[in-house]
Amino acid sequence: MGIVISNDILNATHMTEDELKQELAVLLFQKEKLTLGQASSLAGMNRLQFQHLLASRQIPVHYGLNEFEEDLKTIEKVA
């Protein structure tokens, strides 16, 4: 499913498309609706970049079982 945001709405925010994606990713991560990996992907950043974004806003990284399992899957794919 894709979400279409009109240019009028985007212009009203005075943000770029990438900035809006990052804001949405941060909000959904804070509300624990997305994992760190999912939020990083939505933001168009790697995990480290997204963690730096969170740190710059003094938002703690919650690292639970879901994130651990996701990291294990990633490691298995690489190995």
Q: What is the pLDDT of residue 73?
A: 86
Span 19-32, average pLDDT: 95
Using a cut of 0.85, tell me whether the model's pTM lies above it. no
Q: Is pLDDT at 2 greater than 90 in this prediction?
A: no
Q: What is the 3-state secondary structure (H, E, C) of 57-76?
A: CCCCCCCCHHHHHHHHHHHH
d(CA 15, CA 41): 19
Any idea which of 3-7, 11-15, 39-43 has the lowest mean pLDDT? 3-7
Query: 3-class SS at 27?
Result: helix
Counting DSSP H helices and E strands in the chain, the numbers are 5, 0
- Place 71 in a pLDDT band, splitting at 50, 70 and 90: confident
Q: Which residue has the higher pLDDT, 68 or 63?
A: 68
Choose among 33, 37, 26, 41: nearest CA to 68: 37
